[in-house]
Chain A
């Protein structure tokens, strides 16, 4: 019945870590500003393509003609690039329209579509893959108990995911600027009353969320591939995860990411690959009916 269970569990854990990276930034931005950032998937894509641009010579844009940096150098630059892009997205566009959810919705989806066109223009519609873990650093696969042939890049992604989550947790619990983010996501009015500069908090949240999206994007591109359409599925995934986890709850996103990751992998293995996506949606509907605020969410009050 449950043949290959260890393999399924390991795979599920690895993909869930990636899902968590994909979803956390999305949920933070929603928690702090009530903004549904439909360009979140495009930021993931930006991570993958920024890394490609820096580390591989298969695409070239003016100024960055065939540059091949070492992955350890290219990775942080790509992440910072995406963080800055995310910050700029807020400062240049979103902050002017964030009070109107419909306009924000449209503005961010337009950014996502424009990003797709930019990628097609410079990198073509073809598939690009890249190796994130140089073979001279680590073997390309590792064994883990009864499971062998686990991709090192996925394991590294798992570790990086938890390191990022740990750092994020330290930031939002131990530092004033991080606590301000948490406070704002709990109650904006309360935050204002205690002297938090909500506007600055929002901009900072976009920066942090962008960095997480950048990390997620580089690993997403490494474990799958970089294509101009790669942003759509992670975006819908982020949606599902955020609703199930509870709007604005970082903890909820992590739990829901693992829930979805294990569900999809288990379903794919034991019911067939075609059911992978369906059950997530069924779960989404069930949560909406039974726990409208999600697993760890709170009612919105203003």
Chain B
């Protein structure tokens, strides 16, 4: 876990940003809060320090333009932080823009104009920290939405907590992002929220239900579990193997892979040797296209289940010349194939229409795009419920309003866990009548490049297919 503080941030940051970003260590969180006092104190500190470099941008660092926040003026600025070069980040960027445009067309938030500012993390914790500081200090954003890599999210947590700006996570799923921060020190990190995806512990539980479904369907009973060597996977590896064995399945192989792996042959050979009916793999960092190509060329028939972020690319089947056929992945929003809620399909259709002529990827956003779109709408509703977006002076009202969320989004029905829950401020899993987690839809690439939702059954558009070459 990284706990880098501003004092340690170096690099080509701007003087005013550095000055404003700094507070003597003994002053930080002296009162355990991140509220307005901090800003007032910081202003006082700046004045006494006689920071000549402070320009008008500095006013932007202080919510309510430094007037104590009594007469807040718009526009409300939403900071979107994601790996913008990556197909996933491109989708998230587009849906953030879509959400803001739609809100603006409907009269904004509390009659104020809304703007979105995009910042590129490059998937890199250091860059993310710099960009988060830029969003808050220079761009004067009122909320930050996004982050895909859990290590990136955790790298900006301390800074975001110190500033008090609400952070709504829409991409990264490590439960430790909740338990190690807000779970340890609620007051300090209470400006953190995750509206989706459900965290990896719930994902692992849902995966067990899905495996039962596969067992009913194909009689599969032996499984090989393979995963990225990264934070988000830990719960999967902690929960899933034991859970599978508890259910009476054979766990014939368990491997973590270095995320820079370049040769999948040994892994495939191990799976073949283990005689697993299916490989359950969790790849957000690893790009498993070469594995799929080799599997297709060798016409191997073990199933490929689990999560594969690269495989959520809307044109993945085409990009891999059909090698992706039969692989499945769970993904928030179900790849736009099915009506998770009544809003899913209309949202996907307007996305498809709007970006039809843009650079690839087109068609539908990847999972983070669904969550980002929802997060911005959740934020809008919360601000209007709480009557303020002034996190500098009234963070508690925003927090209370966020926790009262019950929003029909495009990725599912969104509610958040309260302060005393095991995962405070985290997205609630939705369950059907039997207690099965249902906001964890699974899609499969079927022959001829068709993307179908195969689980849970109430959302399925096709039955899961066992590989047949």
Contacts and interface: CB of A to CB of B under 8 A. Distances in A.
A binds B: yes
B255 A126 contact: no
Contact of A233 (B260, B287, B298, B313): B260
B321 A273 contact: no
Contacts of A120: 85
Contact of A273 (B86, B255, B297): B255
Nearest to A130: B321
A140 B87 contact: no
A125 B320 contact: no
Contacts of A277: 258, 260
B269 A4 contact: yes
B229 A274 contact: yes
Contacts of B297: 131, 140-141, 151-153
B290 interface: yes
Interface in A82-102: none
A47 to B, nearest CB: 16
A273 B291 CA distance: 14
B318 A125 contact: no
Contact of B262 (A4, A11, A233): A233
Interface size for chain A: under 10, 10 to 19, 20 to 34, or 35 or more residues? 35 or more
A149 B319 contact: no
B290 A129 contact: yes
Contacts of A190: none
A140 B262 contact: no
B359 interface: yes
Contacts of B229: 274
A66 interface: no
A269 B321 contact: no
Nearest to B287: A127
A273 B287 contact: no
A223 B87 contact: no
B360 interface: yes
Contacts of B72: none
A265 interface: yes
A141 B263 contact: no
Interface string B309-341: 010010110111101000000000000000000
Interface residues of B, number: 40
A173 interface: no
A39 interface: no
Residue of A15, A129, A131, A276 most packed against chain B (CB within 10 A) = A129
Contacts of A273: 255-258, 261, 266-267
Contacts of B263: 11, 15, 224, 264-265, 268, 276
Interface in B240-266: 255-258, 260-263, 265-266
B258 A129 contact: no
B320 A129 contact: yes
A7 B268 CA distance: 11
Nearest to B226: A273
A266 B320 CA distance: 29
A153 B298 CA distance: 11
A58 B255 CA distance: 33
A4 B290 CA distance: 21
Contacts of B257: 273-274
Interface string B292-315: 111001111000000000100101
B432 interface: no
Given A11-B265, A11-B266, A151-B298, A124 B361 contact: yes
A76 B290 CA distance: 23
A197 interface: no
A7 B269 contact: yes
Contacts of B261: 273, 276
A227 interface: yes
B425 to A, nearest CB: 31
A225 B293 contact: yes
* Residue among B229, B294, B359 facing the most chain A CB atoms (10 A cut-off): B294
B12 interface: no
A141 B290 contact: no
Interface string B63-105: 0000000000000000000000111000000000000000000
B22 to A, nearest CB: 32
Given A151-B294, A224-B290, A227-B287, A269 B266 contact: yes
Contact of B266 (A8, A125, A140, A233): A8
A166 interface: no
Q: Which of B255, B263, B267 has the most CB of A within 10 A?
A: B263
A272 interface: yes
Interface in A131-162: 131, 140-141, 149, 151-153
B31 interface: no
Contacts of B298: 140-141, 149, 151
B57 to A, nearest CB: 29
A149 B269 CA distance: 9
A80 B337 CA distance: 44
Contact of A131 (B265, B287, B321, B361): B321
Contacts of A130: 321
Contacts of A58: 315, 318-319
A120 B289 CA distance: 18
A141 B299 CA distance: 9
Contacts of B260: 233, 277
Nearest to A270: B266
B289 A149 contact: no
A112 B313 CA distance: 26
B272 interface: yes
A128 interface: yes
A227 B263 CA distance: 15
23 contacts: A4-B273, A11-B265, A58-B319, A120-B85, A126-B313, A126-B315, A126-B361, A127-B313, A129-B290, A129-B320, A131-B297, A140-B299, A141-B298, A149-B300, A151-B294, A151-B297, A223-B290, A225-B290, A273-B256, A273-B267, A274-B229, A274-B256, A277-B258
Given A56-B321, A272-B255, 5 more contacts: A11-B269, A126-B316, A224-B263, A265-B266, A273-B266
Closest 8 interchain pairs by CB? Answer: A140-B297, A225-B289, A149-B298, A127-B289, A224-B290, A274-B258, A129-B320, A11-B265
Interface of A: 3-4, 7-8, 11, 15, 56, 58, 120, 124-131, 140-141, 149, 151-153, 223-225, 227, 233, 264-265, 268-269, 272-274, 276-277
